[in-house]
C-alpha cells in the first residue's frame, strides 16, 4: 500500500477499489479507522494506516472486527468521523454490536462500516452475502460499481450517517476491491472537531422498543436522502423489452452484455447504487414501463426478492410481469456473475441464440485444456513452516495410533485440509471455531470418546477469537492439545502485524502481547518448538499428546515469505545424484510424492528428484525426510566463504 494523502486533486490516477474507499474516507474527513485484516478488505485499513501521518488520522489493526467497529463507534460518539472495514465474515463477528448500535444510533461523527464480500470465495471460506446485515439491522446500504464511485460513495456515506445518526454500510466485492481503474481524487477535508462526550449523554438501546421505532424512522429518512442522491440511474429505452436491475460490478457486466448482444435499443439497465432501503418510487416507475425484468447481483437474490415483494404490493396497478434471475435459474444461484453469463441470460430471455465463440472452438479448447492443464491446487509456499508442522503432526498422530483428530482454524494453515497439509485437518469453519469444537470434543471422554484431539490456531487468530475458547476449555477442564502455529504474521491476508508481533498498523512499536505468557497466566503447561526441526517437533508433539487436560505447544517459525524479505533462508539445497534412489527409493519417490514442496520436484527424464532452484528457498526441512540422505542442505554463508 502507499500513502495516498498527498495525491494531486484533479489528476487521474490508477487506483485500486480499496484505495479509492480509503481515499474517499480521507476526503470525507475520517479521523478514526479500525479493522481486522481479511481479504478482500485488507488494503483499506493498510492504505489508511500508511496515509495516517500525512492525513493526520488514526488507523489501527484491531484484534477483531467487533472491537474495530466498537472503537470506531466511540470516535463517532465523540464527534469524529470514523469507520471500520472488514470482510464478509467479519460482519458476523461484529453483528452483535451492529444490531444494538443501530438502536442506540451513532454519534455526531459519521460512522461507516465497509464490508468487502467475496463472491466466488476467491479468498474466503464462504461467499456469504453480507448485504443482509442492512436489512437485519435497518441500516442504509450503498453498493459502488467502480473505484471512482466507491470514492464518491464514501463521502456520501459519512454525510448520510451524520444526517440520520446511524451507521451506514458500504458494500464492496472482490471485483471492486481488487480492481484498479482511473480515479480522480478530490480535496482532502480540513479541520476536525475536538472530540468530547457530554457526561450527561447516555447512549444505549434502552428502552428498546420505542428506540426501535426511532431506528425505523432513521431508515425511512435515509431512503429519501439516498433517492435524491446520484447513485441510482437508468439508461435505455423508455419502454424496454427487458429491464435489467443491477448493483455493484454486475452493472458493468450488464452494460457489456447489452453491448455484446447489440440490444441497446431493446434492453434497459437500472443501476442501483443504493440497495437498502430500495427506492420504491423509482422501482415502481420502471416496473410499470416493462414486462420483463432480469436481476443482476451477487451473490444472493437480495434485490430480486425485495423487488418481487414490492411488486406483490403493487401488482394490481403494475400488471403482469415476468421476473428472471436466481429464482428462475437465468443467473447462477452461487458464485460470480460475468459479462458472458449475463449475455447468456439476456440471450435466453430474448431468444437471441447468442454464442460467444464458435462451438467447435470451445469444444476443442475445453478438451485440450481438460486433458493437459493439470489442476493447480493451492499449497503452502516453499519453506512454509506449516508444511513442517503438519508433517510432524501427521507422523505423530499415526504412531500415536489412537485415531487422533485435528481441529482447524482460519489462516494459511487452513490449507491443512488440502493435500499440502497431508489432509490432516479434520474440520475448519470460522475464526476461533476450532477451539470451541476442541473444547467440546475434549469433554466427550465420559461417554467413551478416546481419540486425542489437537486444535491448531494461528498467532493472529489466537488473539482474534481463540481466547474465549481457550478459557472455556481451561475452566471446564476440557482435554485437548492446543498447537499454536506461530509464524509471527497475519500471513494469509498480507503479513499484517498483530498483538503477538507488537508492531502497530503504522509500523511503529506497540506493546507486545506474548502468547506464551498468556497461556501460562491461565495456568497452562506451554512448550515451544521449532517446526523446521522435525525430530524435536515430533518429540514435543508426541509427549504433549500423551498428557491430559488442556496443554499448549507453540510451533514457532517466521513465515517463509517474511523470512524471504528479511534476509532469506540459510541453505542452498542440493540433491546428490549418487545417493538419490529416484523411482526406486524405498517406497517410490517419497520426497516429491508425499512431502510435496514446490521447490522439490521429480525429473521424469532424469528419473531422480531435483531441486527447482527458481522456487526453493532453502529452508532445509526436506533434507530431514530423505531416507537416503541424498538431499543436502548446504549453508549459504559457508559456501560464500569458500
Pick the binder of another protein from 32, 97, 380, 462 (CB under 8 A).
380
Tell how strand 168-173 and strand 242-246 pair up.
unpaired
- Report strand pairing: 233-235 vs 168-173: unpaired
Residues within window 89-128 making contact with another protein, judged by CB under 8 A: 118, 122-124
Question: Can you give 90-105 as a three-state secondary structure string?
Answer: HHHHHHHHHHHHHHHC
Contact between 372 and another protein (CB under 8 A)? yes
Residue tagged 470434543 (cell numbers) = 441
Among positions 543-602, residues that touch another protein (CB under 8 A) are: 543, 561, 585-590, 592-594, 596-598, 600-602
Per CB under 8 A, 387 contacts another protein? no
Q: Which is nearer to another protein, 217 or 525 (CB)?
A: 525
Sole binder of another protein in the list 419, 476, 517, 547 (CB under 8 A):
419
Q: Could you say which of 186, 340, 549, 582 contacts another protein (CB under 8 A)?
A: 340
The verdict on 230 binding another protein (CB under 8 A) reads: no
**Cα angle 205, 210, 216; round to 5:** 90
Size of the site for another protein (CB under 8 A): 91
Q: Which is nearer to another protein, 132 or 602 (CB)?
A: 602
By the rule CB under 8 A, 14 interacts with another protein? yes
Q: How far apart are CA 207 and CA 104, in angstroms?
A: 10
Cβ distance to another protein smaller for residue 301 or 599: 599
CB of 181 to another protein, least distance (A): 4
| CA-closest candidate to residue 47, choices 127, 144, 150 | 150
148 binding another protein? (CB under 8 A): yes
Residue from 194, 200, 201, 376 touching another protein (CB under 8 A): that is 376
Confirm or reject binding of residue 339 to another protein (CB under 8 A).
yes
Candidate list 358, 447, 450, 640; residue touching another protein; CB under 8 A: 358
Count CB-CB contacts under 10 A for residue 507.
Answer: 11
Site for another protein contains 364 (CB under 8 A): yes
* Under 8 Å between Cβ of 591 and 609: yes
Q: Is 296 in contact with 159 (CB distance < 8 Å)? A: no
Among 1, 343, 456, 481, binds another protein (CB under 8 A): 343
Smallest gap from residue 590 Cβ to another protein (A): 5
Q: Per CB under 8 A, does 386 bind another protein? A: no
Q: Does 396 bind another protein (CB under 8 A)?
A: yes
Residue 291 vs 539, nearer CB to another protein: 539
User: The C-alpha cell of 507 is what?
Assistant: 509500523
Rounded to an integer, what distance in angstroms lies between the CA atom of residue 85 and that of residue 100? 18
Would you count residue 35 as binding another protein (CB under 8 A)? Answer: no
Cα(412)–Cα(485) distance, rounded to whole angstroms? 10
Largest CA-CA distance found in the chain, in angstroms, rounded: 90
Cβ neighbours for 448, distance < 8 A, ≥ 6 positions apart: none
The site string for another protein over 175-194 (x = CB under 8 A, - otherwise) reads xx-xxxxx------------
Task: Lay out the sheet containing 525-529: strands in order across.
Answer: 405-407, 453-458, 480-486, 550-556, 525-529
Amino acid at each position: 500500500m502507499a500513502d495516498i494523502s498527498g495525491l494531486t486533486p484533479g489528476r487521474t490516477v490508477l487506483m485500486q477499489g480499496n484505495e479509492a474507499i480509503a481515499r474517499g474516507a480521507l476526503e470525507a474527513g475520517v479521523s478514526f479507522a479500525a479493522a481486522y485484516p481479511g481479504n478482500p478488505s485488507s488494503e483499506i485499513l493498510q492504505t489508511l494506516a500508511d496515509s495516517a501521518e500525512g492525513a493526520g488520522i488514526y488507523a489501527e489493526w484491531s484484534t477483531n472486527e467487533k472491537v474495530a467497529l466498537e472503537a470506531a463507534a466511540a470516535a463517532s460518539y465523540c464527534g469524529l468521523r470514523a469507520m471500520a472495514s472488514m470482510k464478509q465474515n467479519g460482519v458476523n463477528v461484529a453483528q452483535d454490536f451492529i444490531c444494538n448500535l443501530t438502536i442506540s444510533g451513532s454519534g455526531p461523527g459519521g460512522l461507516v462500516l465497509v464490508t468487502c464480500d467475496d463472491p466466488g470465495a476467491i479468498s474466503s471460506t464462504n461467499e456469504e452475502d453480507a448485504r443482509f446485515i442492512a436489512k437485519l439491522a435497518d441500516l442504509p446500504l450503498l453498493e459502488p460499481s467502480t473505484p471512482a464511485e466507491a470514492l464518491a460513495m464514501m463521502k456520501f456515506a459519512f454525510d448520510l450517517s451524520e444526517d440520520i445518526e446511524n451507521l451506514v454500510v458500504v458494500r464492496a466485492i472482490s471485483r471492486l476491491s481488487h480492481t484498479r481503474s482511473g480515479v480522480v481524487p478530490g480535496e482532502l477535508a480540513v479541520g476536525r472537531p475536538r472530540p468530547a462526550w457530554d457526561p450527561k449523554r447516555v447512549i444505549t438501546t434502552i428502552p428498546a422498543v420505542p428506540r426501535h421505532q426511532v431506528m425505523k424512522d432513521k431508515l425511512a429518512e435515509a431512503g429519501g436522502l439516498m433517492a435524491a442522491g446520484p447513485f441510482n440511474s437508468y439508461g435505455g429505452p423508455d419502454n424496454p423489452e427487458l429491464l435489467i436491475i443491477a448493483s455493484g460490478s454486475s452493472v458493468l457486466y450488464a452494460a457489456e452484455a447489452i453491448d455484446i448482444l447489440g440490444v441497446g435499443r431493446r434492453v434497459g439497465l437500472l443501476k442501483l447504487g443504493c440497495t437498502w432501503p430500495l427506492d420504491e418510487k423509482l422501482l415502481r416507475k420502471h416496473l410499470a414501463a416493462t414486462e420483463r425484468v432480469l436481476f443482476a447481483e451477487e451473490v444472493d437474490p437480495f434485490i430480486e426478492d425485495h423487488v418481487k415483494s414490492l411488486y406483490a404490493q403493487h401488482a394490481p396497478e403494475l400488471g403482469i410481469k415476468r421476473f428472471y434471475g436466481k429464482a428462475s435459474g437465468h443467473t447462477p444461484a452461487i458464485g460470480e456473475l460475468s459479462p458472458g453469463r449475463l449475455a447468456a441470460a439476456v440471450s435466453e430471455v430474448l431468444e437471441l441464440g447468442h454464442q460467444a465463440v464458435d462451438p467447435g472452438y470451445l469444444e476443442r479448447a475445453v478438451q485440450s485444456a481438460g486433458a493437459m492443464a493439470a489442476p493447480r491446487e493451492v499449497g503452502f509456499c516453499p519453506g512454509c513452516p506449516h508444511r513442517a508442522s503438519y508433517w510432524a503432526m501427521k507422523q505423530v498422530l499415526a504412531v500415536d495410533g489412537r485415531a487422533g483428530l485435528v481441529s482447524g482454524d482460519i489462516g494459511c494453515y487452513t490449507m491443512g485440509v488440502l493435500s499440502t497439509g497431508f489432509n490432516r485437518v479434520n474440520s475448519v469453519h470460522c475464526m476461533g471455531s476450532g477451539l470451541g469444537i476442541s473444547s467440546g470434543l475434549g469433554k466427550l471422554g465420559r461417554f467413551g470418546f478416546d481419540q486425542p484431539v489437537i486444535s491448531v490456531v494461528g498467532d493472529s487468530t489466537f488473539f482474534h477469537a481463540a481466547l474465549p475458547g481457550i478459557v472455556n476449555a481451561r475452566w471446564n477442564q476440557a482435554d485437548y492439545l492446543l498447537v499454536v502455529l506461530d509464524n509471527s504474521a497475519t500471513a494469509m491476508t498480507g503479513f499484517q502485524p498483530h498483538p503477538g508481533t507488537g508492531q502497530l498498523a503504522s509500523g511503529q512499536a506497540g506493546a507486545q502481547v506474548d502468547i506464551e505468557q498468556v497461556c501460562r497466566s491461565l495456568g497452562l503447561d506451554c512448550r515451544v518448538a521449532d517446526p523446521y526441526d522435525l525430530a524435536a517437533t515430533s518429540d514435543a508433539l508426541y509427549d504433549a499428546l500423551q498428557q491430559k487436560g488442556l496443554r499448549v505447544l507453540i510451533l514457532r517459525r517466521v513465515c517463509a515469505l517474511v523470512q524471504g524479505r528479511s534476509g532469506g533462508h540459510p541453505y542452498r539445497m542440493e540433491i546428490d545424484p549418487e545417493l538419490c534412489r529416484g523411482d526406486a527409493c524405498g517406497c517410490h519417490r517419497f520426497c516429491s510424492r508425499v512431502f510435496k514442496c514446490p521447490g522439490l520436484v521429480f525429473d521424469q527424464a532424469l528419473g531422480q528428484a531435483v531441486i527447482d532452484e527458481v522456487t526453493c528457498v532453502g529452508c532445509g526441512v526436506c533434507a530431514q525426510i530423505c531416507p537416503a540422505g541424498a538431499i543436502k542442505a548446504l549453508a549459504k554463508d559457508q559456501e560464500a566463504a569458500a
